[in-house]
Amino acid sequence: MLENKNYKFWFCTGSQDLYGDECLRKVAEHSAKMVDGLNASGKLPFEVVLKPTLISQASIRKTFNDANADEECAGVITWMHTFSPAKMWILGLKENRKPLLHLHTQFNEEIPYDTIDMDFMNENQSAHGDREYGHIVSRMGIERKIVVGHWANPEVQEKIGSWMRTAIGVIESSHIRVCRLGDNMNNVAVTEGDKVEAQIKFGWEIDHYNINDAVEYVDAVSKGDVDALVEEYYSKYKIILDGRDEAEFRRHVAVQAQQEIGLEKFLKDGDYHAVVTHFGMLGGMKQLPGLAIQRLMEKGYGFGGEGDWKTAAMVRLMKIMAAGVPNAKGTSFMEDYTYNLVAGDTGILQAHMLEVCPTVADGDISIRVNPLSMGNREDPARLIFTSKTGPAVATSLIDLGNRFRLIVNAVDCKKNAKPMPNLPVGTCYWEPQPNLAVGAEAWILAGGAHHTAFSYDLTVDQMVDWAAAMGIEAVVIDKDTKIRDFKNELRWNAIAYR
Ligand code: MN
């Protein structure tokens, strides 16, 4: 479910034929060494593929269109080794549809003080050629990422690797299909949105089914399959009976196992990558899917509660962007639930009714069966845990009527001061940057939702770059946020994104 294609990134070096064959031979040799070095660095999540040096409008145009047609190509990395007159690039850039990185680097790290002469200067002038190229990309208003520094520097390589994940988000966004098992919750504003515009902007297909279409799949699951999955749950998670009868507890857990298997088959048959439910629209479901949805999220499905398809698609998007991050800490649907306003330990307790992804869990995961206190179904089984500490990113995609805005908040996750033995949900606890007071004020000013798509494994920059590539507004709340400036930014953005 989280397997990416065998994506590759094309490395395209720009030059021209003014310098003669000997120089162009060296250009190609340098580019090959750089590509080998990047691939051997261990810092890039995907392979870089060297393309022949580009020295004419025809070859540039053909290369970009070959990239467009290649399903495995997830982006194009461009670098001007020498001067490459930028009018040659106009047609190719105009036709390019793949994410673009401008790697502003040069082959040599240090000026060769003892030997440098005019020939060397002419043959190693990306400081010069990359400005000509950058000019035309800016003049054409094309979105691209620029990374500056020596190609063998680990920090530069990490920036390239980080951008690759943004590019995967751009490429994969157009394949996201969301299955709505229930509509948006009545009267709720922030989870609403324009589904047609979302497909135009992001490529998302957002469909709707009657929940009983999925109930048919759940009811069709065999008892043997349910029993086997319940056994897996019992071996994997701690069982907290809370004084309930063991057999009755197990029967409640079995309902979730049956839902997990049935829902997964339903989503697979429809080729869906994200799903929404609504506790008030459960049709023939015996319980609100809790443990079942938690396990599906763990497998890579996006999820949004109460019909929130925007957040469901964002959770899926962020899971696919973060797929394969070494030592990943997790990505989940979250909801701002309740505050701790004690001086010195301010923060927001994150949870949902049930549906928090166990990838974010720290330590033991338990199963409990508790009343939902909302809706009219039997007590659902759910996974209980607390979450990891450290920096993370929380995002909210909202529809402002005339445009989408992505709100991106850098948050610091921490441990709660005490355990919460009576709280039967998976939780996370964080303080928004720069602090709760400014972070929450900015979030509310920006119109951010109570639902978020959250990840420890992605950065503010990756999400902002993704929004830029999608052509939508993004606002950042982080350590540099000041309310007066933030209000002005929102005011100016209202004009810029009109
Ligand atoms: Mn909710």
Residue 449 alpha carbon to ligand 1 centre in Å: 10
Residue 51 alpha carbon to ligand 1 centre in Å: 48
**Helices 483-496 and 436-446: crossing angle, nearest 10°?**
20
- Strands 331-340 and 347-351 turn out to be antiparallel
Residue 278 alpha carbon to ligand 1 centre in Å: 9
Residue 334 alpha carbon to ligand 1 centre in Å: 8
Tokens, residue 95: 């036709």
Residue 293 alpha carbon to ligand 1 centre in Å: 14
Residue 321 alpha carbon to ligand 1 centre in Å: 24
Distance between CA atoms of 132 and 123, rounded to whole angstroms?
16
Residue 373 alpha carbon to ligand 1 centre in Å: 14
Residue 446 alpha carbon to ligand 1 centre in Å: 19
What's at 43, amino acid-wise?
Answer: K
Residue 237 alpha carbon to ligand 1 centre in Å: 25
Residue 354 alpha carbon to ligand 1 centre in Å: 10
Q: How many CB atoms lie within 10 A of CB 90?
A: 16
Residue 309 alpha carbon to ligand 1 centre in Å: 12
**For residue 100, what pLDDT is reported?**
98
Residue 477 alpha carbon to ligand 1 centre in Å: 22
Residue 397 alpha carbon to ligand 1 centre in Å: 15
Tokens, residue 61: 């145009």
Distance between CA atoms of 227 and 222, rounded to whole angstroms?
9
Distance between CA atoms of 230 and 225, rounded to whole angstroms?
9
Q: How many CB atoms lie within 10 A of CB 362?
A: 16
Task: Write the DSSP assignment of 405-449 as a string of letters.
Answer: EEEEEEEEE---SS--TT--S--EEEEESS-HHHHHHHHHHHT--
H or E segment to which residue 316 belongs? helix 309-322
Residue 139 alpha carbon to ligand 1 centre in Å: 44
Distance between CA atoms of 381 and 354, rounded to whole angstroms?
9
Residue 151 alpha carbon to ligand 1 centre in Å: 45
Distance between CA atoms of 18 and 16, rounded to whole angstroms?
6
What's at 292, amino acid-wise?
Answer: A
Distance between CA atoms of 153 and 45, rounded to whole angstroms?
16
Residue 438 alpha carbon to ligand 1 centre in Å: 23
Cβ atoms of residues 137 and 93 within 8 Å: yes
**Chunked mean pLDDT (size 10), the chain, 498 residues:** 87 92 94 98 98 97 98 97 95 98 97 95 92 98 98 98 98 96 95 97 98 98 98 98 96 98 98 96 96 98 98 98 96 98 97 97 97 88 98 98 97 97 97 98 98 98 98 98 98 94
Distance between CA atoms of 188 and 451, rounded to whole angstroms?
12
Residue 455 alpha carbon to ligand 1 centre in Å: 18
Determine the 3-state secondary structure of 457 from DSSP: coil
Burial class of residue 450, CB neighbours in 10 A (0-12, 13-18, 19+): middle
pLDDT, tens only, 190-245: 999 999 999 999 999 999 999 999 999 999 999 999 999 999 999 999 999 999 99
Residue 252 alpha carbon to ligand 1 centre in Å: 22
Residues in a beta bridge with 496: none
H or E segment to which residue 463 belongs? helix 460-470
Query: CA–CA distance from 147 to each of 81, 102, 255, 431 (Å)?
Result: 15, 6, 51, 30
What's at 271, amino acid-wise?
Answer: D
Strand order in the sheet with 361-369: 238-239, 361-369, 381-387
- Strands 47-50 and 8-14 turn out to be parallel
Residue 28 alpha carbon to ligand 1 centre in Å: 55
Burial class of residue 296, CB neighbours in 10 A (0-12, 13-18, 19+): buried
Residue 385 alpha carbon to ligand 1 centre in Å: 18
What's at 269, amino acid-wise?
Answer: D
Residue 352 alpha carbon to ligand 1 centre in Å: 6
Distance between CA atoms of 84 and 132, rounded to whole angstroms?
7
Tokens, residue 313: 């698609």
Residue 131 alpha carbon to ligand 1 centre in Å: 48
Cβ atoms of residues 136 and 102 within 8 Å: no
First-to-last C-alpha distance (Å) of the chain? 37
Residue 338 alpha carbon to ligand 1 centre in Å: 13
Residue 188 alpha carbon to ligand 1 centre in Å: 10
pLDDT, tens only, 285-326: 999 999 999 999 999 999 999 999 999 999 999 999 999 999
**For residue 3, what pLDDT is reported?**
77
Residue 305 alpha carbon to ligand 1 centre in Å: 5
Residue 460 alpha carbon to ligand 1 centre in Å: 23
- Strands 404-413 and 451-455 turn out to be unpaired
Residue 303 alpha carbon to ligand 1 centre in Å: 11
Determine the 3-state secondary structure of 92 from DSSP: helix
